[in-house]
Amino acid sequence: MIEINNVTKTYKLGAHEIKALRKISLKIEPKEFVAIMGPSGSGKSTLMNILGCLDKPSDGSYKLDGIEVKDMNDNQLAKIRNQKIGFVFQSFNLLPRTTALKNVELPLIYAGKYNRTALAQEALELVGLKERLNHKPNELSGGQRQRVAIARALVNKPGLILADEPTGNIDSIAGEEIMEIFQNLNEQGITIVLVTHEENISEHAKRTIRFRDGRIVEDRQIGKRRSAKEELKILLESEEYKNNNNRNSGNSH
Ligand code: ADP
Ligand code: MG
């Protein structure tokens, strides 16, 4: 599905050159679930932008489903982004004055699809937000906003989901809920590439790739993965325990 060969990305800032990626080679097969790790500035987001066809390599080859991305024009790239790839960002990137339903309908408008309301509703149900269709982002918790963003990423039924630090701005229970959705989607055959700096989040994936200074320094399969479903059960039980012992503590979830 993804085949990257000797990809380099250089940013020019005036006379200055920043080598964000240095000859990266990488293959990701359909139905993989990959966590990308590494310190800040190591090139993770640069890689995600290239994988998502939001940016092109300075050098090297990127083939998505066998097609060389640098040979495509802007229209073709926009079409691929809309049809094949779902994006999820740390800061949700929802339209603020627009309901959950309308936010999720947007990619369907670009795709020129009919019965958008039904499809958007279906995607929101899938992420557990059936009761929140007409809420605007500021009427939702962080975790719920991220689930709206996932519904939006899903609505065109892409084969690939790219998520850049999707749990970076939410609490740990909401984070597990997001990981549960990703694990379910992956079970259904969707390929997932997720950037995170949290070890416990990365252990929900099947494979981790670690970056440093624009290079891959580790690439391994995860033997024993975490199950978000099981983690959630434990977290919710301990939360319940806490609430039972301190009934006045507000529910921040
Ligand atoms: P990460 O996501 O791992 O934190 P990035 O891919 O965002 O890292 O950045 C890698 C390097 O490229 C950093 O040194 C960063 O400052 C630089 N960089 C990223 N985007 C740009 C840009 N648009 N212009 C110039 N430099 C950039
Ligand atoms: Mg980043």
- Sketch the domain layout of the chain as residue ranges: 2-245
- Tell me if 28 sits within 8 A of 47, measured CB to CB: no
Residue 106 Cα to ligand 1 middle (Å): 28
Q: What is the pLDDT of residue 246?
A: 65
State whether the beta carbon of 41 lies less than 6 angstroms from ligand 1: yes
Q: How far apart are CA 148 and CA 107, in angstroms?
A: 13
Closest residue by CA, ligand 1 atom 14: 41
Q: What is the pLDDT of residue 95?
A: 96
State whether the beta carbon of 14 lies less than 6 angstroms from ligand 1: no
* pTM exceeds 0.85: yes
Encode the chain (253 residues) as per-residue pLDDT tens digits: 999 999 999 999 899 999 999 999 999 999 999 999 999 999 999 999 999 999 999 999 999 999 999 999 999 999 999 999 999 999 999 999 999 999 999 999 988 999 999 999 999 999 999 999 999 999 999 999 999 999 999 999 999 999 999 999 999 999 999 999 999 999 999 999 999 999 999 999 999 999 999 999 999 999 999 999 999 999 888 877 677 776 554 454 5
Q: What is the pLDDT of residue 242?
A: 77
Residues 230, 235, 236, 239: what is their CA dihedral angle, to the nearest 10 degrees? 170
Q: What is the pLDDT of residue 244?
A: 75
- The class (CATH top level) of 2-245 is alpha beta
Handedness of CA 234, 197, 60, 156 (dihedral sign): positive
Closest residue by CA, ligand 1 atom 15: 41
State whether the beta carbon of 40 lies less than 6 angstroms from ligand 1: yes
Q: What is the pLDDT of residue 238?
A: 86
